[in-house]
A and B are shown apart, each in its own frame.
Chain A
Amino acid sequence: MTRYLLSALGCGVLFGAGLAMSGMTDPRVVLGFLDVFGAFNPTLLFVLGGAVATTMLTFRLILRRRPVLAPAFRLSALVRVDRRLLVGAGLFGVGWGIAGYCPGPAVSGLGIGSREALWFVPAMLVGMGLYELVARLMRAHVAARNAATSTPDALRR
């Protein structure tokens, strides 16, 4: 357990150093990349390119065996490209395009004394809570509807 947490700490440190080193904690650099019709700044392409090239090389090898400190890999079992994925990703992109913060750089902003992070991060957490609330209401609604439609079936038998 201790080694598991220490490894999480080390990975977090590497991640934060990478974000800061690459300039991603400055939302102007990020918006410069997204602004393809204006003063385009390709920095983010190098960052994402370096990161994805690395994971593409290593993940394939890593996933062949079991993780070192855990019994199994914990990967998303979802495979379908559905409306929920696309609408969610679309909304995230709109927020990203407005302020230039995705979650990693925004949370890291708390460490570099960014005043903007003090507004963005709490709003982000509220947004996450709002989604959880909506999802729970939807699930309750679907469950109630299923119960209502399945009752006659049960009676028929």
Chain B
Amino acid sequence: MENWPLALAGGILIGLSSSLLLWLNGRIAGISGMCGGLLFPRRGEFAWRGIFLLGMIGAAGAYMAWAPGALQPRIDFPRWGLVVAGLLVGFGTRMGNGCTSGHGVCGLGRLSVRSLAAVATFMATAILTTAVVRHVLPGVL
């Protein structure tokens, strides 16, 4: 783990972003909620979500373009795995009202019991799923 200072600094940046959005705009920085809000827009709620996501996409791209050591893309992962995972992540985050950012970073930050329950649950099923995919059924993905 040679990159832990960068990981910590990046995490603090994410926390600062969430803090500023709450302090200035009064909103929770939940990425799944923003995507859902773009898909089913309500009056006056579309633009800020779209512009936040565009800023996020642009900044991630700019960082990767300038940072040393370009990311080597993963090339051996099957497309059907991406599609199945995407369907589950989309369905599950709308059903459970949030993901790693909304429940994890923001929900835990405001000491929400609901978010703590959600984080414990998705961490547990994610660890279990990774264990099954990598160690019980290796070669499936």
* Interface of A toward B, CB cutoff 8 Å: 4-5, 7-28, 31, 34-38, 41-44, 46-56, 58-60, 62-63, 66-76, 78-81, 84-99, 101-104, 106-116, 119-132, 135
Contact = CB atoms under 8 A, between A and B. Distances in A.
A111 B18 contact: no
Contacts of B108: 52, 55-56
19 contacts: A11-B29, A14-B13, A14-B17, A15-B101, A17-B62, A18-B17, A50-B9, A51-B12, A62-B19, A67-B23, A87-B96, A88-B92, A89-B122, A91-B125, A96-B85, A97-B127, A99-B77, A102-B99, A107-B56
B21 A11 contact: yes
Given A56-B111, A123-B86, A128-B91, 13 more contacts: A13-B56, A19-B56, A19-B60, A34-B129, A48-B100, A58-B22, A71-B26, A89-B92, A92-B122, A95-B89, A102-B101, A112-B60, A128-B93
A148 B73 CA distance: 56
Contacts of A129: 39, 90
A130 B4 CA distance: 38
A1 B74 CA distance: 41
Contacts of B59: 12-17, 20, 111
Interface residues of B, number: 105
Interface residues of B, dominant DSSP: helix
Interface of B: 1, 3-4, 6-29, 31-32, 35-36, 39-40, 47-49, 51-64, 67, 71, 73-74, 77, 79, 81-97, 99-101, 103-106, 108-114, 117-119, 121-131, 133-135, 141
Contacts, number: 466
Contacts of B89: 92, 95-96, 101-103, 106, 120, 124, 127
